[in-house]
Chains A and B, each alone.
Chain A
Amino acid sequence: MTAPPDPLTAEQVAEGRAALARLHRFGGESLVAEMARMFLADMPARLALARTALGAAEPARVAYAAHAMKSSAAQFGAGRLAELCAAAERAAADGDLAPVAPLLDRVDGELATFGGWLGAELPAAAPRS
């Protein structure tokens, strides 16, 4: 059983808000809202792809999915999430799938934490149920 992820620290919240401010500078509220919406929708899908690839013992596909997740997480200032994705990418790229499953579990938990924070910061971006 995996321990629940720690809540975001004040520093992590600051990094997330700085990332949102950058996105706003790049393209205004519409860009922020659309990118956040895409993040909240696409990250779980990419995680599912990584897990499917892991189950099929396809390290290249795992690395590819983890790399994409890392990139998106980093653009949103989600440093801890990006680091976990990077660790999964490195392991898979090295052909070592043994540590990947627990790493993806941690990615899942961290994504829930960060996604919850992002959805609260930007209610308009939250997926419609």
Chain B
Amino acid sequence: MVEDNADNRLLLQAILEGLYDVREYESAEAALDAFRGGGPGGSPDVVLLDISLPGMSGVDLLRLLRADAVLARLPVIALTAHAMAGDREEYLAAGFDAYVTKPIVDEEVLLRAIQRVLAAEGGA
């Protein structure tokens, strides 16, 4: 997960605990460095990416990932409290594989999105 707010990271960890091995990054820059460097265990199978981040935004990180020969097909799920009309379509058009709004009200929405993108990449 790439999420700058500690409370959101705690919440996501609680939801995903026992289901996935979760690595946390507080900024797009830290995540990009880790993904390009291979990180422990290699690049992730899926990225949960907050849109509003300090420094580089989530959308800008996505663009860099999609332009990277190795990371281009990495499944990325947008996680955002931006919920204006048209936001979902905008983020999917930008290249996100799925879009989940915050606040997290139903954890199944997040879990199904993760399962869906992993299945699409054959990594379920």
Interface residues of A (CB under 8 A from B): 19, 22-23, 25-27, 31, 34-35, 38-39, 42, 64, 67-68, 70-72, 74-75
Contacts and interface: CB of A to CB of B under 8 A. Distances in A.
A38 B10 contact: yes
Interface string B92-107: 0000000000111101
Contact of A23 (B8, B11, B81): B11
B5 to A, nearest CB: 6
B7 interface: yes
Given A26-B107, A71-B81, 5 more contacts: A23-B11, A26-B14, A42-B7, A67-B52, A75-B8
B59 to A, nearest CB: 14
Interface centre among A68, A71, A74 (most CB of B within 10 A): A71
B15 interface: yes
B6 interface: yes
Given A38-B7, A42-B6, A64-B54, A71 B103 contact: yes
Interface string B1-36: 000111110110011010000000000000000000
